[in-house]
Each structure stands twice: as structure tokens, then as C-alpha cells.
Chains A and B, each alone.
Chain A
Amino acid sequence: MTVRIRVIPCLDVADGRVVKGVNFVDLKDAGDPVEQARAYDAAGADELCFLDIGASHENRDTIIDVVRRTAEVCFMPVTVGGGVRTADDARALLMAGADKVAVNSAAVSRPEVVSDIAGRFGSQCMVASIDARQVDEGCWEIFTHGGRTPTGIDALEHAVRMAELGAGELLVTSMDRDGTRDGYDLSLTRVIADAVSIPVVASGGVGNLDHMVEGVIKGGANAVLAASIFHFGQHSISEAHDALRAAGLPARHNS
């Protein structure tokens, strides 16, 4: 076989607490990101993504502590995004046990941070996180600050630039679809996946397992990220793997 399509649950964290997370299992403290991460590790998630949505620069130690405690008890790859502005921010997360760091706004305002991180720690850990909205037929624009701030930058051009600067992966989120449960923006995912030689993660809008399959087959994604369909117990990780395999795609067998 070949490398498996990755199924990645994403946990939003603010000030060290889960904002939107698992509520289908009995957790002693449902707001604790580490307990939630353990639930996904046990469920056989292929990777985990922590998005620090409340990230203020004064409060970096909080997410670093979450990552450190997660790495003590979870043995799956972890990507951490939110508030990563410099190579030193990335270093602190990597040394705490993160495997990859996702850079979003800083990569728009100061793209050289991508080559800084890739140069110091390797492309394999440098994820460029791209939030895009459709502005015209076949045309998407980069938005920052949680999708609120337009930048005038073309999403496809930005994606290609990120790869050229040394990003090892692109996390592509459709801000039009995020939270809608209508499925990924497959055209956005496809146009970027076809233009770069690095893996692409589809994000934003998953409402059912078919959406994940479409993200790969039609969107060309190498990994599928989702939040609510897992957090609310609508589907399990192994059901997602089964759906991918049923569509003829390589996916892991959960033992």
C-alpha cells in the first residue's frame, strides 16, 4: 500500500481550556485538552491538531504546558497552531512535544518566518495554515484573524509561495464553509493540491463522512481535518477510516 489518508480531529483551545471539544465520552474534566487528546489517541486518530484560538503573545506558556502534558500521555503526532509568530515560538512548541507547528497570520505579514522555521527545524514540521474565502468564480482571497481580516492576497499564489519558502504541509480552511457542515470547498482544496508538491489538509465544513471522502477524491487532499462530527460523537475515527477504505482509499486499520 502507500501512505494512508490521515484523519485529524481538531481541538480549539483558549487559555488552556477546550472551547469546542469532545462531549461523547465521560471525561472527568471535559475542558481539559489533555483528557480530550487522550480520548482521540485511544480512538486511533492519525494525528491531532490543537488550535490556540485565544492566543495572546503574553500567554504562550499556557499552550506550551498543554502540549507538554499531552506529549506525556499521547503517542500520536500533534500539530499546534495559533499565535506562532517566530521561529522561537515554533521551537518552544516543538521542544514541548509538538511534531508540527501551523503558522497563519504571521506567514501572511512576514512570509520569511516560514523559511526561518523550515531552515532551523526542517520542512517536515512547518505547516502553513491558509484561511481563504471565495471572492469570485475560481478565485479565493486570504483572510487572517479568524477569517475577519481581508488581505487582498490571492490564496493560490500564497499557497504556492508557502511551499516555495519551505512549508512541508498546507492546512487549507474554507472560511465560507467553516461551521456550515456543508462539506469542504472542494474547488479551493483541489486548485491548491494540484499546484503544490507537498501534502494538503482539507479543513472547514465537514458534516458527514462522505464529505471526507470527497475531500480526498475530488479535493485532492492528503488528510482531512474535522471537529464537530467527532466531538459530538456523530462519527468515530474508525468510522471515518472505514468510509475512506470503502471508497477505495488507503486508510489505517484501527486495532
Chain B
Amino acid sequence: MAETIALIDFGAGNLHSVHNALMATGASGVVVTADPDVVAAADRIVLPGVGAFGACRDALASIDGMIAAMEQQVRQEGAPFLGICVGMQLLADKGIEFGEHQGLGWIGGTVHAIEAPSADIKIPHMGWNDVTPTAGHDLLEAGEAYYLHGYHFDATNADDIFATTYHGRTLVSAIGRDNIVGVQFHPEKSQAYGLAFLKRFLEWKP
């Protein structure tokens, strides 16, 4: 039986683009869902997200039972999980963006505004930049991907960082642990590199 891939719908702006990209990889079992029961039974879970940390967190938390379903299926049952952009940042303990907001706390760290070290470094970090793997990880290959963010994941444990990129300073490009991975770049907008990444995620057996 084909796997069910739950793409969580909490109103994120990149929801449909992520859906389109997953479909383009040939995935058959993608379900766009706001139903915690579907998430609790999914084989894989994808969390999109763009915009502000607090707004995304509130929208996700406003779906009764959703965070509990994610906790159960990802952290207890070990279903492979992918967070994209703010969907990745939500893995952190907290985010400092228009106030302080609690994150999922799955991966230690805080989401902060990127501070430009000099005037020629423009914020948001917008455009194609490197994905530089820090250690061998099945999902991450060196390449160029599209980034669009003004905030970044400041990780507590260096071991959780799977890949970095450089924009005036080193920034986390991919983070995770065990069956959890989050990427700051947008695979759904990164042409061949991004589609190949999504395909690897759909085949990933952590």
C-alpha cells in the first residue's frame, strides 16, 4: 500500500507550492490536511511555513489536537518529519520575532533576527545560496538552493546541524535529529536541487 504523506494545512503561504513540488516528484499519497487523526496515522509528515514565527505557531496551535498528533507520530512512532522554512524554525525551543514565542522544542535552539555584520549584507537573506553539508546525512547533498528569510535558527547543539550556508555569517541551512529534519531553504522553489531533495525525503528510512 502506498504511503500516506501528511502535508499539514495551517494556512501557510507556501502550502500549495510544497504540494505541487511533492506531486512533481511522483509522490502518490500526499494528503493536504488539517485533521490531527490523519497526521497521527501518516507515514511521513511535512510542515510548511512562511512569514512570522509567532503567527505560524499560533495558527498551528489553533488546530485542536494537531501538535499532540505530531508529537505522537513523529517523536513516539518515529515517522519521518520534514519542516520547511518557518516549518523548520518551529522545531526550536522559542522564536524571538514580534515578541517571544514558544516553539515545538524538538531541536534545541532559538530563532533570532539575522544581524547584518556590514552594510553590504542585505536582510532578508534572499536568493540562491549554498547548502554545505557539515557531516554525512542521507538527505543533504552539496548544492545551491533558494533562501528567503530574515530570521535564523541558532542551534544549541552543533551536532544537530546537518548543513550550513553563508550570508555575512554562517547560518543553519538544515537541522534535525533521528527521524526529524528541517531545512531553512525552500525545496519547493529550488528547481532540480529542491525536487531531488524532496524525492530523497520521500524515500528516507531514518
Partner of B130, one of A1, A75, A121: A1
At the interface, is chain B mostly helix, strand, loop or mixed? mixed
A252:B144 contact, CB within 8 angstroms:
yes
Residue A253 is within 8 A (CB to CB) of chain B in the complex: yes
B167:A124 contact, CB within 8 angstroms:
no
Contact digits for A180-224, partner B, Cβ 8 Å, 1 yes 0 no: 000000000000001001111000000000000000000000110
Residue B62 is within 8 A (CB to CB) of chain A in the complex: no
Could you tell me which residues of chain B, from 109 to 127, have a CB within 8 Å of some CB in chain A? Answer: 116, 119, 122-127
Q: Which residue of A lies closest to B16 (CB)?
A: A97
Partner of B123, one of A5, A121, A198: A198
Residues of B within 8 A of A223 (CB): 127
Most chain A Cβ neighbours within 10 Å, of B14, B20, B144, B191 = B191
Partner of A122, one of B50, B122, B168, B188: B50
Residue B13 is within 8 A (CB to CB) of chain A in the complex: yes
Most chain A Cβ neighbours within 10 Å, of B17, B52, B126, B130 = B126
Residue A244 is within 8 A (CB to CB) of chain B in the complex: no
Could you tell me which residues of chain A, from 1 to 38, have a CB within 8 Å of some CB in chain B? Answer: 1-6
Quote the shortest CB–CB distance from B200 to chain A (angstroms): 15
A2-B166, A121-B51 known; A168 vs B124 contact (CB < 8 Å)? yes
How many angstroms between the C-alpha atoms of A112 and B90 in the bound complex?
29
Residues of A within 8 A of B166 (CB): 1-2
Residues of A within 8 A of B21 (CB): 75
Of the stretches B26-34, B38-46, B133-141, B146-154, the one at the interface is: B146-154
Residue B94 is within 8 A (CB to CB) of chain A in the complex: no
Quote the shortest CB–CB distance from A42 to chain B (angstroms): 9
Q: Residues of B with Cβ closer than 8 Å to A?
A: 13-17, 20-21, 24, 50-52, 55, 116, 119, 122-130, 144, 146-150, 166-168, 186, 188-192, 194-195
Q: Give me 18 A-to-B residue pairs in the complex whose CB atoms sit less than 8 angstroms apart, sorted by A's number.
A: A5-B127, A6-B127, A6-B128, A71-B17, A75-B194, A77-B146, A121-B50, A122-B150, A124-B50, A124-B126, A124-B148, A169-B124, A197-B119, A198-B122, A198-B124, A199-B122, A199-B127, A200-B122
Q: Residues of A with Cβ closer than 8 Å to B?
A: 1-6, 41, 44, 46-47, 68, 71-73, 75-77, 94-97, 99-100, 120-125, 168-169, 194, 197-200, 222-223, 252-253, 255
